[in-house]
Structure 1
Amino acid sequence: MRIEAIEAIPVRIPLKPERRMISALGRHEVSDFVLVRLHTTNGVEGVGEATVTPRWSGETVWSARAAIERLFAPVLSGVDVADIETVTQRMEAVAIHNWFAKAAIEMACWDALGRAARRPVYELLGGACRPLTIRNRFSLGAYEPKVASQRAASLVAAGFDTIKVKVGTDPDHDVARVRAVRAAIGDATCLTIDANGGWNESQAAGCLERLADCRIELVEQPLPRGNYTGLRRLRETTGHRILADESCFDEVEARELIEHRCCDAITLYPGKHGGIARAKRIAEFAAEHEIPATIGSNLEWDVGAAAMLHFIVS
């Protein structure tokens, strides 16, 4: 079964008011995607999704569509769908980065393979090694303290046992927001924070000192991508557990973070790493070094979310 053609279909979805995100990256009120439809020589089709956020991965609908149709599709024509390594290598040969566009094509390959075999993709990835019931946390935007606390309380009442609060905006506002949320959700609910690289090292250290009594489980991406030394210093001086997200796009960055003890955990998702196979390799490397992995989100749509679930349980 070989790749015959690849289509790229842009989709734009406005978010409901309660789903809109405010973070160090700005306001996110509309989600853009590029759906991939992969046609094979035996008539089986596969679908994938590129979840594009210019301020996060640098990709846009236009760049992802152009990369898929003009760069990747021509070099993938005739390639065996099951040869994921060759699919990845050929995409790498014509373009660096473009992680979510590459992941969309790889997702579509796995989807086509699953459809052809009449098996769920997680079985093709080695089988389920985790429960099919997945715990998740709700990511709460950088709202005013009163709004944030009310929203957090309603989420806990709805059954969420972990709340993640966006920070990395104004340090004083960040501290007030986190304190308000902790007061609203009580001690039994886990609390994490995510700065999306919005703090500098001094701001991060100051905020974490002021929040020392809030029992924060993880501090996600407190500093900008590339500041490995700063992450390590924060770990050592504040005692908080650091979760690396934007700092870990590829295997080289994962190795740098883990071998130099810059983080306590890493965040994985297929889109960020250019595909499920790469995400699994990073997860395996982390496990070898006893570094836990969590699954993050770029506000994926249904296709991307499904791929993430198959990756998680495998």
Structure 2
Amino acid sequence: MATIDAIDTWIVDVPTIRPHVLSMTSISRQSMVIVRVRCADGVSGLGEGTTIGGLAYGDESPESIKLTIDTYFAPLLVGADSAMPAALMTRLRQNVVGNHFAKNAVETALFDCVARRAGVPLSDLLGGRQHDRLPVLWTLASGDTAKDIAEAEAMIAARRHNVFKLKIGKRPLADDVAHAGAIKRALGAGASVRVDVNQAWDEQTARKGARMLGDAGIDLIEQPLPRADRAGMARLAASAPIAIMADEALRGTHDAFDLAAIRAGDAFSIKAAQAGGLIAAAKVAAIAEAAHIGLYGGTMLEGSVGTAAAAHLCSTFATLAWGTELFGPLLQTEEILATPLEYTDFALTVPKGPGLGIELDEDKVRHFRRDAPQRTVVMLNQAAR
């Protein structure tokens, strides 16, 4: 029996290449919880827990993810058989309420262990991949129209991205529409432009915004209403001239079922972290497919570990009508993998090696770990200012 010997967790803070502006916060670094499950047979697996802007976005933060895993998960898992991830996740769900991001990180590490031990890609454990490459969009989130246009044009020229998402909702509606419309006009018919409101609008604003954005050539609006307003999302999806996507409203299979039942969206953003794990996210995707709702591979701006896991999951879906946004590692100034993920020709290549198919650059991880002596001193000085 390959028992679990230890579970290690580290918060790793990596700067971003530019500020990433959302309707509720702005981030200039991404804080990731890297999880390593170590087993008695020498096999170890990796997982990641990452949020966008900490508690400004949702009810988990890097600090709470690490605390939950160290204090509550580890005692339930150490000494157990690592070859039984489903049973171990059931044990966690029976003993710990919520904490989906933490559960996803640990489940990913457990599956990584099993797949590495078997010598197969993680996607094989999820039913087998149907795609080796996944289309990936880029988020334009500076808020400056000229900068965003220049950034998008550079991405197209480099054949890295030709689909773009704009973060809007902080400014008046007319300003946001003017911003989105200007970018769409500049990029032309060869590029798709979408917007993400991150729950910032009320229903009246969303109805007006959908009409105006549709006239501007925008293809989709992501989560325009608060996550609890399911009825409003259904009314909006029924009347809007462009597609409406559910994101923050999807926190697992129960949400997915309820939203699908009233058609509260034309697309579902599939995020393993929000769903509570890879298996839960696969079930959310199955509910969407059964309801003829388009799939989209969403991101919490995960680094390379979480992005690799999401890529394995998304590769198993028959269709991804709206593509993916698995660009998180590209937003960071430094790579923490020994061999970076491959982004070429507007797509991400799904790793083919055993497990996640990745290895950490241990020196980089040590450099960016929050508990590294030099990092701790810097952060304490910043907090004191």
TM-score (norm 1): 0.94
- Output the CA distance in 2 between the equivalents of 1:285 and 1:243: 15
Once the two structures are superposed, residues 65-120 of structure 1 have per-residue CA deviations (whole angstroms, 9 ceiling, x without a partner) of 11001101111223322322222222222322211111110011011112111111
| 1:144 aligns to 2:144 (yes or no) | yes
How much does 1:43 deviate?
Answer: 1.9
| 1:48 aligns to 2:50 (yes or no) | no
- Output the CA distance in 1 between the equivalents of 2:254 and 2:293: 16
- Output the CA distance in 2 between the equivalents of 1:214 and 1:140: 17
Q: Decide which moves more: 172-181 or 76-85.
A: 76-85
1:264 alignment partner, one of 263, 266, 279: 266
Q: Structure 1 unaligned segments of length 5 or more: list them.
A: none
Alignment partner, residue 220 of structure 2: 218
- Output the CA distance in 1 between the equivalents of 2:212 and 2:120: 51
**Equivalence map 1:123-202=2 (5 Å):** 123-129=124-130, 131-141=131-141, 143-159=143-159, 160-170=161-171, 171-202=173-204
Once the two structures are superposed, residues 258-313 of structure 1 have per-residue CA deviations (whole angstroms, 9 ceiling, x without a partner) of 01111111001222212111111111121122212101111111111111111111
The amino acid that maps onto 2:143 is Y
* Higher RCO (CA 8 Å, separation ≥ 6 residues): 2
CA contact (8 A) 2:22 2:141 kept: yes
- Output the CA distance in 2 between the equivalents of 1:157 and 1:165: 19
Once the two structures are superposed, residues 155-200 of structure 1 have per-residue CA deviations (whole angstroms, 9 ceiling, x without a partner) of 2223222111111111122111101111111022111111011111
The amino acid that maps onto 1:29 is S
The runs of at least 4 aligned residues of structure 1 exceeding 3 Å deviation read: none
CA contact (8 A) 2:5 2:39 kept: yes
1:246 alignment partner, one of 248, 254, 257: 248
CA contact (8 A) 1:268 1:293 kept: yes
The amino acid that maps onto 2:42 is G
Question: SS where residue 54 of structure 1 aligns?
Answer: helix
- Output the CA distance in 2 between the equivalents of 1:180 and 1:134: 28
Alignment partner, residue 347 of structure 2: none
Question: SS where residue 71 of structure 1 aligns?
Answer: helix
CA contact (8 A) 1:192 1:218 kept: yes
Q: Decide which moves more: 76-85 or 192-201.
A: 76-85
Question: SS where residue 190 of structure 2 aligns?
Answer: coil
Q: How many corresponding residue pairs?
A: 311
Alignment partner, residue 36 of structure 1: 35
Provide the aligned C-alpha RMSD in A.
1.5
CA contact (8 A) 1:156 1:185 kept: no
Q: Structure 2 unaligned segments of length 5 or more: list them.
A: 317-385
